[in-house]
Amino acid sequence: MDPIDGNSMSNTFFKCIFSCGDKSVTLDKDDMIQVDDNNYVAPLNSSKLGIGNIKIRYEVDIPDEDFNDGYRHEIAIVNTGINIIKP
């Protein structure tokens, strides 16, 4: 994901929910491997997902003074184009 409102991924809280079929796996930022300020690697065990196209629901809390709790919650859904096929 690109930086949002000048914030790098390293200074925001985020999680990714990987889903495929009727199963999903959630990885918080702390579960991922940081490459640099804006890139993380998600060590995903695809055997825990179902069959079909992997989708990622990316949720991030962005610092924003205009919100009561000081954060704006953003959600993006990405279709990866990666298919899991199991025999």
The average pLDDT across 37-63 equals 92
Question: Within a domain: residue 1?
Answer: no
Q: Which two tokens stand for residue 72?
A: 């704006």
Residue 65 CB: number of other CB atoms within 10 A? 7
Is residue 2 included in any domain, yes or no? Answer: no
Beta strand pairing status for 52-63 and 71-84?
antiparallel
Residue 56 lies in a domain: yes
Q: Work out the average pLDDT over 10-27.
A: 92
Give domain status of residue 3, yes or no. Answer: no
**Is 24 part of any domain?**
yes
Q: Does some domain include residue 28?
A: yes
Q: Identify whether 4 is part of a domain.
A: no
Q: What is the pTM of this model?
A: 0.82
Count of domains observed in the chain: 1
Whether the pLDDT of residue 10 is over 60: the answer is yes
Q: What burial class does residue 18 get, using C-beta atoms within 10 Å of its C-beta: 0-12 exposed, 13-18 middle, 19+ buried? A: buried
Residues of the domain holding 63 = 9-84
3-class secondary-structure state, position 14: strand
Inside any domain, residue 40: yes
Q: Which of 3-12, 32-41, 68-77 shows the lowest per-residue confidence on average (mean pLDDT)? A: 3-12
**pLDDT surpassing 60 at residue 2:** no
- Judge whether residue 5 has pLDDT over 70: no
